[in-house]
A and B are shown apart, each in its own frame.
Chain A
Amino acid sequence: MNVVEVEDLRVHFSRRRGVTVRAVDGVSFTVAPGETLGLAGESGSGKSTVARALLRITDPAGGRVRIGGRDIAGLRGAALKTFRRQMQMVYQDPYDSLDPRMRIGATVEEALIVRGLPAGQRPARVRELLERVGLPAALATRYPHELSGGQRQRVSIARALGVDPAVIACDEAVSALDVSVRAQILNLLKDLQEDSGLAYLFISHDLSTMRFAADRIAIMYLGRLVEIGTRDQVFGAPRHPYTQALLAAVPVPGARRTGPRVRLAGEPPSPADPPAGCAFHPRCPLAEEICRTVRPELAVKRGGQLTACHLAPEPERDSEVTP
């Protein structure tokens, strides 16, 4: 059974004068235990909002979110607190996601307090958690400003692990780190996954990180998924022109480019006033008449992934597997 099931998730922000921003507009996906789903897209595409809605930091306007088989809409009070142990998040900013006035040990310990662990057992568990993320237990008495960015992200991970979650959302969790440190953290995440079957919702705008970290990849554009498939499907043969453009923008060392380069022009349109039809059509090099009027839905395309594009080639055989 999938640990995360998201169906037609909508998150709206209302602004003044009745303008509603559809930050997330009908997103569906699943994450299986032990799997990493990568969620990629430009700034403002709504990828962080998806994670925040899953964690109930932001309340969804519609759709269904099931985490660990439980519908999380409308959870309140104690039930909400209990649900929160199912899913945790590691945040982008290692400088702001830990309380600067709290010692590392106390920060990690909070997770254990939430779980109701008796005070006597906590110090040992804190040491254990710190060691599990590759930090010396002696760091417990330090303050966050005494740690490096990578160490802080490890502390964030230890805190998340403290409540024993089934899913961890990593919202640009390695984007602020040096490349060498980034690889260490990604490896740590993988090791933890192998040990305990954690699932990750891995959010990043960085496709090379994605290629390394994700099993399946979903591409978001303006609050909607435009393509979702396995890593090989999406990176090997992207079907949506937006995915193609994103991939073309990733510099590949030593690669000789074949075929015409797809270049993205301009900024993504405002989600407060999305274009009619396919939201990508004003920037799409292939756009045709139908793209301006009819919004494409996600459908299986050639290669097997789901793509929301009128012009993507249809699957050759019916036997191709849906991801």
Chain B
Amino acid sequence: MTAAQPTEPRVRDGLRRAGRSLLRDIPALVSVAVLVLLVLAAILAPLLAPHDPMRTYAEGLTARGAPVPPGGEFPLGTDPNGRDVLSRLLYGARVSLTIGVVANGLATVVGVVAGVTAGYFGGLVDTVISRITDMVMSFPILLFCVALISVTGPSQRNVVLVIALVYWTYLARVIRGMVLSLREREFVTATRTLGVSDTRIMVRHILPHLVPAIIVYATLGVASSILIESSLSFIGVGVPVPEASWGQMVDDGRRYYEVAPWLLFAPGLCLIATVLAFNLAGDWLRDLLDPTAPERR
């Protein structure tokens, strides 16, 4: 849209700039690599997994019925049901990443749209949206999710929807506040007096200023969504049982950590790596998109 250049070279320029800044920023580079690997692992789980993640193997239990430690046929050991931890971890990545990204993506989109609309137009629109967010937020998150899922029935899709339904309110509230102050800024007034439409003002002048906050919230939200799912699984209203999710595996592992610490460490480290990677990659993205940030050389 810039006057001086046609669009295509700008996209290429942007990508080149992104690549260059990534090479200078080691933590961001590692984070992006980790995220790419995780996504690949999740997609290729059926090819990579050495075993069936839901099957109990006779060799998966010791003579006394205890889980097998890592090494040999089960690279990351087995769980108390004799299932292969590595395979479950790979399949679990599908569930956890899907929930983290989709639930949170939905929540972000709805939250931003609602927050910008409420903040920009104010008045009745604002009152209605704000009261809805108040209503949702007045319930404890977990209780609200449990109540909704007991109505809709547990399934991965419902878990995603329920998490999104709760989380959009937090973002909407923050965004609304930011928009309230943004819309009083002189450049917004100037644009409005130019005769620019409300929609264009919101998209071209308000939204870009919200990007840093959105990125921070969205990346933190991925972590909380994954954790919420694990709590739901723990109560028994998460992803239905034989399927693996990281949260569920951590919960399992917690109970056996004295005899089988790998049960806790394997999914726990994956969770930490994912959350950290999302946050660091988010920081990098935020700096990349900020024209006023000093370019690191």
Q: Which residues of A contact B (CB under 8 A)?
A: 55-57, 80-82, 84-85, 88-89, 91-93, 96-103, 105-106, 108-111, 113-114, 122-123, 126-127, 137-138, 140-141, 143, 145, 156, 159, 162-163
**Least CB distance, B136 to chain A, in whole angstroms:** 31
Task: Considering the complex, give the chain B residue whose CB is closest to the CB of A78.
Answer: B195
Contact of B209 among A80, A101, A105 (CB under 8 A): A101
Cross-chain contact B3 with A126 (CB below 8 angstroms): yes
Cross-chain contact A102 with B3 (CB below 8 angstroms): no
Complex CA–CA separation, A96 to B204 (angstroms): 16
Cross-chain contact A141 with B2 (CB below 8 angstroms): yes
Q: In this assembly, does B194 line the interface, its C-beta being within 8 Å of a C-beta of chain A?
A: yes
Cross-chain contact A102 with B208 (CB below 8 angstroms): yes
Cross-chain contact A156 with B190 (CB below 8 angstroms): yes
Task: Considering the complex, give the chain A residue whose CB is closest to the CB of B207.
Answer: A101
Instruction: Given A97-B190, A114-B196, A137-B4, output 17 extra A-B contacts at Cβ < 8 Å.
Output: A57-B192, A57-B193, A81-B197, A88-B194, A89-B190, A96-B185, A97-B186, A102-B204, A110-B196, A110-B204, A126-B4, A127-B4, A140-B2, A141-B2, A141-B5, A143-B291, A159-B190
Task: Considering the complex, give the chain A residue whose CB is closest to the CB of B4.
Answer: A140
Cross-chain contact B194 with A91 (CB below 8 angstroms): no
Task: Kindly count the residue-residue contacts between A and B in the assembled complex, taking CB atoms under 8 Å apart.
Answer: 91
Cross-chain contact B292 with A100 (CB below 8 angstroms): yes
Q: In this assembly, does B257 line the interface, its C-beta being within 8 Å of a C-beta of chain A?
A: no
Enumerate chain B residues within 8 angstroms of A106, measured Cβ to Cβ: 1-3
Complex CA–CA separation, A163 to B195 (angstroms): 9
Q: Which residues of B contact A (CB under 8 A)?
A: 1-5, 185-187, 189-197, 204-205, 208-209, 290-292
Enumerate chain B residues within 8 angstroms of A82, measured Cβ to Cβ: 195
Complex CA–CA separation, A197 to B193 (angstroms): 21
Known A-B contacts A55-B193, A100-B292; the reply to A91 vs B186 at CB < 8 A is yes
Cross-chain contact B195 with A114 (CB below 8 angstroms): yes
Contact of A96 among B1, B186, B194, B208 (CB under 8 A): B186
Cross-chain contact B3 with A109 (CB below 8 angstroms): yes
Complex CA–CA separation, A100 to B291 (angstroms): 8
Cross-chain contact B195 with A85 (CB below 8 angstroms): yes
**Least CB distance, B116 to chain A, in whole angstroms:** 15
**Least CB distance, B144 to chain A, in whole angstroms:** 36
Enumerate chain B residues within 8 angstroms of A89, measured Cβ to Cβ: 190, 193
Cross-chain contact A101 with B291 (CB below 8 angstroms): yes
Enumerate chain B residues within 8 angstroms of A81, measured Cβ to Cβ: 195, 197
Complex CA–CA separation, A103 to B205 (angstroms): 11
Complex CA–CA separation, A99 to B183 (angstroms): 12
Enumerate chain B residues within 8 angstroms of A111, measured Cβ to Cβ: 194
Cross-chain contact A145 with B187 (CB below 8 angstroms): no
**Least CB distance, B129 to chain A, in whole angstroms:** 23
Enumerate chain B residues within 8 angstroms of A91, measured Cβ to Cβ: 186, 189-190
Cross-chain contact A143 with B292 (CB below 8 angstroms): yes
Enumerate chain B residues within 8 angstroms of A56, measured Cβ to Cβ: 193
Show 17 residue pairs from A and B whose CB-CB distance is below 8 angstroms, ordered by the A residue: A82-B195, A88-B193, A89-B193, A97-B190, A98-B190, A99-B205, A101-B290, A105-B4, A106-B1, A108-B3, A109-B3, A110-B194, A110-B196, A110-B204, A138-B4, A140-B3, A163-B195
Contact of B4 among A80, A92, A123 (CB under 8 A): A123
Enumerate chain A residues within 8 angstroms of B190, measured Cβ to Cβ: 89, 91, 97-98, 156, 159
Complex CA–CA separation, A55 to B189 (angstroms): 10
Complex CA–CA separation, A92 to B189 (angstroms): 12
Contact of A122 among B3, B187, B189, B204 (CB under 8 A): B3
Cross-chain contact A57 with B3 (CB below 8 angstroms): no
Complex CA–CA separation, A126 to B4 (angstroms): 8
Enumerate chain B residues within 8 angstroms of A101, measured Cβ to Cβ: 208-209, 290-292
Cross-chain contact B208 with A109 (CB below 8 angstroms): no
**Least CB distance, B289 to chain A, in whole angstroms:** 9
Complex CA–CA separation, A137 to B208 (angstroms): 25
Contact of B187 among A55, A98, A113 (CB under 8 A): A98
Known A-B contacts A126-B3, A126-B4; the reply to A84 vs B195 at CB < 8 A is yes
Which 3 interchain pairs have the tightest Cβ spacing? Answer: A105-B3, A126-B3, A81-B195
Task: Considering the complex, give the chain A residue whose CB is closest to the CB of B290.
Answer: A101
Task: Considering the complex, give the chain B residue whose CB is closest to the CB of A81.
Answer: B195
Enumerate chain A residues within 8 angstroms of B1, measured Cβ to Cβ: 106, 109
Task: Considering the complex, give the chain A residue whose CB is closest to the CB of B205.
Answer: A99
Complex CA–CA separation, A103 to B243 (angstroms): 50
Enumerate chain A residues within 8 angstroms of B2, measured Cβ to Cβ: 103, 105-106, 109, 140-141
Complex CA–CA separation, A96 to B182 (angstroms): 11
Task: Considering the complex, give the chain A residue whose CB is closest to the CB of B188.
Answer: A99
Enumerate chain B residues within 8 angstroms of A140, measured Cβ to Cβ: 2-4
Complex CA–CA separation, A162 to B3 (angstroms): 13
Enumerate chain B residues within 8 angstroms of A156, measured Cβ to Cβ: 190
Task: Considering the complex, give the chain B residue whose CB is closest to the CB of A125.
Answer: B3
Cross-chain contact A127 with B194 (CB below 8 angstroms): no
Complex CA–CA separation, A82 to B189 (angstroms): 16
Complex CA–CA separation, A137 to B154 (angstroms): 60
Complex CA–CA separation, A82 to B195 (angstroms): 7
Complex CA–CA separation, A80 to B291 (angstroms): 33
**Least CB distance, B263 to chain A, in whole angstroms:** 47
